[in-house]
Amino acid sequence: MPSTLLINPSQPDPAVYPRACEPLEEVGAAEPADAAAALAFALERLTGAEDSRPWLLATTPMWLRERGRPFARGMERFAPGRLIWVRAEKEAAALWALEEALKSGAVAGGLGCVEQPAFVTTRRLEFAARAGGARGVLLRAGPVSDLSAARRRWRIGAAPSGQAAFDAAAPGPARIRAELVRRRDGPPGCWELEQDNETGRFGVVAGLAGHGLDASGPAPAGRHAAA
C-alpha cells in the first residue's frame, strides 16, 4: 500500500467521483479476493450519473464460476432494474456485445468482466463509448500493466469497514481502497472510500470525523495520496 499523506484537504481530486468518469476506464482487483469490491466500485463509476438509459453487464462463464453471479438484490443501489446482463460464452462475444451496446447510444454504460482484452479492442471500446455518449468500464481480474486505451486505471482493494452505527461487533459501512494507478489528466493517487449507508454512493473517508461524504459534489475534506 502506498504511503498515505494528506494534501490539500479542502479540494479532493474530482477524479474519484463517478461524475467525472471517462469514456473508458479500467478497474482491477488488487487481489483476486477483492473482486466484489472492484465490481462495486466499477458499478459506481458506471451508474453514478443521472441517466435513465439501461446499463449493460457482460460476463464470461469463467468469471462467473470464479467469482459468483451478479445478485440484483445486492445491487439495489446500482439500479438493477435497468440492468441488461449479457451472459456470453466467450470473451470475444462479451467484448462484441459491450462494443455494440456502447456504440448504439441505447445504454448509459457498459461493464465488461474480461481477462485479456487486446489493446486494439480497448481502443475500439473507447471510440464506441464516445460515439454513443456512454461510459465503458473494464473489470479486470487482477492488477495488470499491459497496454490499454483506458484513460484511467484503478486498483481496488477491500479495507476494514467503518464503525457500525449500533453494533460495534458488526461490519460497518463498506470501505475500499481505490488507487488510481495510471491516468492521463493528472498525477496518480490513492483514496480510501466509504459507502454511504443511505445513498449507497462511495465518498472519500473524512480524516477525522469518520463519516462518509456525499458523492454528488466535491467533499469538504479528503485524503489525497501520491503513489
Partner 1 sequence: MRPDRRRPGDTPPPEGVFAGAPFALIDKAGAHGLTLSALNEPARAAGLYRGQAHADACAILPALISAPAEPERDLAMLRRLALWAERFSPSVTVDARVPGYEGLLLDMTGGAHLFGGEAALLAEIRTRLAAADIPARVAMADTPAAAWALARFTASPDPIAAAGRTREALAGLPVEGLRLEPQVLTLLKRFGLKRIGDLYNLPRAGLDRRFRGEAGQRVVERLDQALGVLNEAMTPERPPPLYRLWTPFAEPVIDIPGVEFHLPRLARGLADQLTRAGQGARRLSLTGFRVDGRVTRIEAGLSAPSAAPEHMLRLLKEKGLEALDLGFGIDALMLNADLAEAVGAKQGDIQSAAAGKRRNEPLPPCGEGVGDGGADAALWGFTRPDNPNRQRLTPTPNPSPQGGGEWRPAPSSGEAADLIDRLQAKLGDSAVLRPQTRESWIPERSETWVPATPEAADLDIAKDRPRPILLLERPEQIQTLAGVPDSAPAHFTWRRVVRRVIKAEGPERLSAEWWRADPNAARPARTRDYYRVEDDKGRRYWLFREGLYDREDIQIDAETKAEIDRPPTWWMHGVFA
Residue 80 near partner 1 by CB under 8 A = yes
DSSP 8-state secondary structure symbol assigned to residue 91:
H
88 lies in the binding site for partner 1 (CB under 8 A):
yes
Phi, psi of 221 (to 5 degrees): -140, 155
Q: Work out which of 15, 16, 95, 97 binds partner 1, going by CB under 8 A.
A: 97
Q: Which of residues 131-150 bind partner 1 (CB under 8 A)?
A: 131-135
How far apart are CB 147 and partner 1 at their closest, in Å?
21
Give the three cell numbers for residue 105.
447510444
Residue list 18-77, contact with partner 1 (CB under 8 A): 19-23, 33-37, 39-41, 43, 49-54, 64-65, 67-76
Choice between 133 and 187, CB closer to partner 1: 133
In the region spanning residues 165 to 224, those forming contacts with partner 1, defined by CB under 8 A, are: 167, 169-172, 174-176, 195
In a 3-state reduction of DSSP, which class is residue 180? strand
Is the Cβ–Cβ distance between 82 and 55 less than 8 Å? yes
Burial class (CB in 10 A: 0-12, 13-18, 19+), 172: middle
